Amino acid sequence: MIEIPLYDTFSKIEPITKGMSGDKKYYIETVEGKHFLLRIADFSEYAQKEIEFEAMKHLVARGVPMPSPIDFGTCNNSKCVYTLLSWVDGVEVEAILPTLSKAEQYTLGIEAGEILRKIHTHPAPDIVDNWAERYYSVINPRLKAFRSEGIPFVGDTIILNYLESNGVLLNNRPQCHHHGDYHMGNMIHSDTGRLSIIDWHTVDFNNCGDPWYEFNRIGIEFPAFASGQIDGYFDHEIPEKFWSLLAYYLAASAITSIVWAKYFAPEGLQDILKLNTDILRWFDDLKNTVPTWYLNDFS
């Protein structure tokens, strides 16, 4: 760590244990009173971390409220790669939503949707293959695994049939840069009441693809917030196709998580199975693609 150029200015280095990232994370204070987030990863991740750092610079320039990229390079005798970011003060949105009224939740959701739309103005690289091929290369093996090793549940054939018969929805979809893990836990509510988006280090489809795919982590625990996020993203003009793709992505993500949970997170298996049955209920066995939790009486 001492090889980091600004290391001599660090007056406080505090490890951060929260989060699922493989990076080592530290809260930093400097002698000048500045606050940073330091992330350290194995050198094998250098190329990916460099791409992330450059993308963050582009997104900050586009006005996305987020940590500012400060410095990037190698340390620990070139065995590690570090990323230094500005620190964002505030509280996670998922922690404050229970304390807000539905109207306040909706307003915050609107802001989250507008920010996501701004993130999606950053284009995907020209060399990216078409979205349908990229998506199916990942999801089809997972669906095959569910058919052979998954845990059956009432309605599983409804989901599988919906995915099979609606694959055409993914054809000719535009692609853009993704946040990668856009949900309430990665949104910080500042003392001034504004949102900032953190944790730009989840690599899902190389952080680019169909912009609407990013709604697969939408927080329906708070329907007013989720509804606001959709309304804010589309400025209250929601395309009919969005609902069909939302159902597609949520259903595909849920059913393919069963085998993963079975082997890697058995303690969460019942929650995943419940999510699948919830999706069937929200979308009326996938016959009505506007989910029951969507509240349209705020607009």
Ranking 132-146, 149-163, 196-210, 258-272 by mean pLDDT, the lowest is: 196-210
Residue 299 has pLDDT above 60, yes or no: no
pLDDT tens digits, one per residue of 94-141? 999 999 999 999 999 999 999 999 999 999 988 789 999 999 999 999
Residues 216, 218, 221, 227, Cα dihedral to 10°: -120
Q: What is the pLDDT of residue 66?
A: 95
Any idea what DSSP says for residue 39? E
**CA 85, chain centre distance (Å):** 19
* CA 144 – CA 136 distance, rounded (Å): 11
Q: Which domains does the chain have, with CATH numbers?
A: 7-86 (3.30.200.20), 91-283 (3.90.1200.10)
The pLDDT > 90 percentage for the chain reads 85
- Over residues 224-235, mean pLDDT: 97
| Global pTM value | 0.92
* CA 30 – CA 38 distance, rounded (Å): 12
DSSP per-residue codes, 189-238: E-TTS-EEE------SGGGEE-GGGGGGG--TTSHHHHHHHHHHHHTT--
pLDDT tens digits, one per residue of 19-68? 667 889 999 999 999 999 999 999 999 998 998 999 999 999 999 999 99
User: Residue 60 is inside which H or E element, if any?
Assistant: helix 46-61
- Over residues 82-103, mean pLDDT: 94
